[in-house]
Amino acid sequence: MNDCYVLFYSQARFSYVRMKYLFFSWLAVFVGSWIIYVQYSTYTELCRGKDCKKIICDKYKTGVIDGPACNSLCVTETLYFGKCLSTKPNNQMYLGIWDNLPGVVKCQMEQALHLDFGTELEPRKEIVLFDKPTRGTTVQKFKEMVYSLFKAKLGDQGNLSELVNLILTVADGDKDGQVSLGEAKSAWALLQLNEFLLMVILQDKEHTPKLMGFCGDLYVMESVEYTSLYGISLPWVIELFIPSGFRRSMDQLFTPSWPRKAKIAIGLLEFVEDVFHGPYGNFLMCDTSAKNLGYNDKYDLKMVDMRKIVPETNLKELIKDRHCESDLDCVYGTDCRTSCDQSTMKCTSEVIQPNLAKACQLLKDYLLRGAPSEIREELEKQLYSCIALKVTANQMEMEHSLILNNLKTLLWKKISYTNDS
């Protein structure tokens, strides 16, 4: 009798354990499938390259727009989209191939018609795409349009006419010495985008990606071998299941050797110099995150995404007098912050933290991990002095230059005789 009871109890317990195992197995499959479904839906919403291509090619084939990339994109199809890098549906970004040359393809989708500090700062396309300039607009009138746009974006710089002429040279995609109406429409749409404008302004600078071509407001820029400051990229399905803390540890592990990191860091410091009081005014870096920076196989820094680098004059004009309840309402991107004047409940126009301080904040952990012991203390001291920089400080420009040069000198002295540099 006891033996039968034990046998029955064992079988019941085994059935219970098996049912419990099956339940949790199915639950795990259900939850996993749901997560993958949600992420796939998000992916298809984010990555809309086919829609972007259709819009651009419809406009090209009807003669509305023109540019050096149009024929390859829409006729011969030798420009095609590869891996999707988009982070927002209205800003499409892909790795691509153009006539066997790698590049990064960027395209603007439908746009908001108002300024939204949670998304973008740039003026957006009208409901009727590519409606300016209109037929009959002379080259002189188009130059005046571009000049007025630059004056609004960049302020009253003395050399804006030179920049206008440079833009006309870029707009002449087929290099026939004339800017057609289609090319002018493409150029006007592209000039609304801060990244395109910055690429033209800094076209001869080492750390700015080169413009390869455009069609409408789609443009192709130089490809970068490593598209993040950290040297590891995982499929999005795997990213889902990696905790953020463990991901940060992985990022630190999968980085180049310290001398190579130092060379990349010097490149970022040089880029900060490029945009700080450049030939057409100061630009503000409003998202200094690792995903916006890359580097090539020689460990030279290359910017991957410059859409959140905006003209200081433009930002100040748009943010001033904005209604606010606290300082949190006076932020553009992640890093351009002004303060909320509680007496008027309006945002002030002065950005609190300069570009260099933001760059040093990003580089702190990147450079200190694995830093040679003989310079670690001095490096840490200089980085913290850099992070403490404020725009409102007395003699900020002098401090800015001194700290930047000291950091570059410290890093170069350590790596100048190494093979890795």
Average confidence (pLDDT) over 11-28:
59
Q: What pLDDT was estimated at residue 88? A: 79
Q: What pLDDT was estimated at residue 421? A: 55
Question: Are 349 and 338 a contacting pair, CB within 8 Å?
Answer: yes
Question: Are 212 and 327 a contacting pair, CB within 8 Å?
Answer: no
pLDDT digits (tens, 9 = 90+) for 116-165: 444 444 444 444 478 889 998 899 999 999 999 999 999 887 789 999 99
Evaluate if residue 218 carries a pLDDT over 90.
yes
Average confidence (pLDDT) over 355-382:
94
Q: What pLDDT was estimated at residue 286? A: 93
Contacts of the segment 228-233: beta carbons below 8 A, 24+ positions apart = 228/290, 228/291, 228/293, 228/294, 228/304, 229/264, 229/290, 229/291, 229/293, 229/294, 229/295, 229/362, 229/366, 230/254, 230/255, 230/290, 231/255, 231/256
Confidence of residue 228 (pLDDT cuts 50, 70, 90): confident
Pick the residue with more confidence: 126 or 86? 86
Average confidence (pLDDT) over 96-110:
89
Q: What pLDDT was estimated at residue 21? A: 63
Q: What pLDDT was estimated at residue 123? A: 44
Evaluate if residue 335 carries a pLDDT over 70.
yes
Q: What pLDDT was estimated at residue 119? A: 44
Q: What pLDDT was estimated at residue 291? A: 85
What residues contact 231, with CB distance under 8 A and at least 6 apart? Answer: 254, 255, 256
Pick the residue with more confidence: 128 or 279? 279
Mean pLDDT estimate for the chain: 83
Evaluate if residue 243 carries a pLDDT over 80.
no
Q: Which range (122-136, 184-198, 290-304, 334-348) has the least confidence?
A: 122-136
Contacts of the segment 72-76: beta carbons below 8 A, 24+ positions apart = 72/98, 72/99, 72/213, 73/215, 73/218, 74/215
Q: Which of 201, 233, 197, 237 is nearest to 214 (CA)?
A: 197
Average confidence (pLDDT) over 265-276:
94
Average confidence (pLDDT) over 392-410:
85
Evaluate if residue 285 carries a pLDDT over 80.
yes
Q: Which range (102-116, 253-267, 406-420) has the least confidence?
A: 102-116
Average confidence (pLDDT) over 268-289:
90
Secondary structure of residue 161 in the 3-state scheme: helix
Q: What pLDDT was estimated at residue 338? A: 92
Q: Which range (24-33, 179-188, 403-412) has the least confidence?
A: 24-33
Query: pLDDT above 90 covers what percent of the chain?
Result: 51
CA–CA separation, 61 and 204 (whole Å): 33
| Residue intervals in the chain for CATH 1.10.510 | 234-414
For 226, phi and psi rounded to 5 degrees?
A: -115, 115
Evaluate if residue 35 carries a pLDDT over 50.
no
Q: What pLDDT was estimated at residue 131? A: 86
Average confidence (pLDDT) over 54-69:
94
Evaluate if residue 16 carries a pLDDT over 90.
no
CATH class of the domain defined by 234-414: mainly alpha
Q: How many CB atoms are closer than 10 A to CB 310?
A: 27
Pairing of strands 79-84, 101-108: unpaired
Pick the residue with more confidence: 318 or 20? 318
